[in-house]
Each structure stands twice: as C-alpha cells, then as structure tokens.
Amino acid sequence: MNRLENKVAIVTGSTSGIGIGIAKLYAEEGAHVIVCGRRVEKGQVVVDSITEAGGKASFHAMDITDPASIEKLVSDTVETYGHIDILVNNAANVALKDGRVDELSIDMWDAIFQSDMRGTFYVTKCVLPHMRKDARGGSIINIGSMASCGGDLGSTAYACAKAGVDMFTKAVALQYGKENIRCNCIRPGLIITPENEAKVPDALKNIFLSNIMVNRYGCPEDIGHACVYFGSDESAYVSGQIITVDGGLNSHAPTVAQFREMGSRTW
C-alpha cells in the first residue's frame, strides 16, 4: 500500500474497462487519480466508488480525438494539483473495427490512428512540459496491444497504430530520460471486462484459453498491477520497455494448442 502516495496520476479512458481497473488500484496505492473520458455519468460513478473506498479521485471530461479537450485536461490538472507525476495513456476507440488492407477506407484508417496513436502522442506532448519543469520528472505508461506482436487476418489499422505506440514509447524514453522522465508500454492480451464479457463469443474465449499459458483470461486488475509498478519508484531504473501482459499467449510456438489436443509434445 501507499506505493503511489502523494502522486498525481492522469488515467485517460478510465470510465470503463481496463481504465477503471487502473484508476482503482492507483487510488488504493495512495495516488490522486484524474479519471477522464467522454462519459461524464460513468466517470462520476468511478470517482464515487474510489472516494467511498477512502481513495482520492476527481473527474475531468476529455475526448481523445479533440486536442482542445486534452489541453484543458492537462492545464486544469496542473492548476488544481500543481504537478503531474504519472500519465497512463489508456484511451483508445476500441469500438472501431477494421479489416484487411483491401477492405479499409482512408477514413477508417485515419479514424483509428486519430484515436489510438495521435491521442497518445498529444496527451504526452501536453504533459511533458510539466514533468520537465524543475527536473521533477515522472512516469508515462502507454497501453498498447498484443495486436502489435504479429500479423493477423484483420484489424490492420488497429495493429499498425498500436505498433506505433510501441515505437513512440521508445522515442519518449530516449528523448526525455535524462530529465528523469520514464516511459514504458504495456500490451494487454485478452482482457475480459464487465463491458465486453457478454460480447466476446465462447468460441473466441476457447481459442485464447487454449493458447494462454495460465488457466484464466486476463482482467483489468492484471493491467492495473503492471501500471502500479511502472508508476511507482520501484521501476526507477526501468524505461523504454514493452511488456506483454497476456498470460504467456505470445511466448510460445504457434502450434502449441494443436499439439496439446493431440497429446503430443512434438511432431
């Protein structure tokens, strides 16, 4: 407990899913959490649940595709609390589904990059001057995706945008590390949340579970615990890293699930 005591943390996209898990764990560890997103009522529910449990949180409306709302989020946070210690770039429009290269329109490509790549870039750009001030430093945590680990049959634009987040992480870590600013990236695997549980078909769950190394799917708290580590002083010597929190899904040969079904360890 208190691993993030007295730290001010912005968690974008924290009105649902993984973002809620991160925000609640941050508050449990002593941070003052800025919950933000487009859905005011849902955001206030998150804040209320944190404060009722004895944590510190406040809500600020933000649209990840609107630069002016991002600027206001950052300026209001600094005006109210004096500084920003942690930024978690979690917001992304996961509702945007795309497909193969020949199926994608320019508008769909641009929309996905606007929410998933440009948003991460611009929130970081706005926060950096405040972390650089007086060499106070801070920790920036980008939420990527296991989609950037390899090619797939669809989700081309999404995977490319998240691959951009991977490289952006390394650029920020290199360019501002000497100013006591760290930047790391977490790639979630299949994370089952209250919002998506009913929407994920059993067939897809079974495919993932047969390839995951552990005996369950991921939950928002799995990503939250990794974010606590990267936000705390425990990771003071860790920067520019990309960690895949996926139950070991991407750590093995692609034939493992099929060989298990055969009761064999090799051909």
Catalytic residue among 158, 217, 229, 237: 158
Give phi and psi for 65, each to the nearest 5.
-95, 0
100, exposed or middle or buried, with CB in 10 Å at 0-12, 13-18, 19+? exposed
Give the bridge partners for 142, in sequence order: 89, 185
74/60 Cα distance (integer angstroms): 10
Query: For residues 211 and 257, is the Cβ–Cβ distance under 8 A?
Result: yes
Decide if 158 is catalytic: yes
Here the tokens at position 178 are 């000497």
User: Which is it for strands 8-12 and 32-37: parallel, antiparallel or unpaired?
Assistant: parallel
Whether the CA torsion 87, 88, 94, 100 is positive or negative: it is positive
Q: Which residues are catalytic?
A: 158
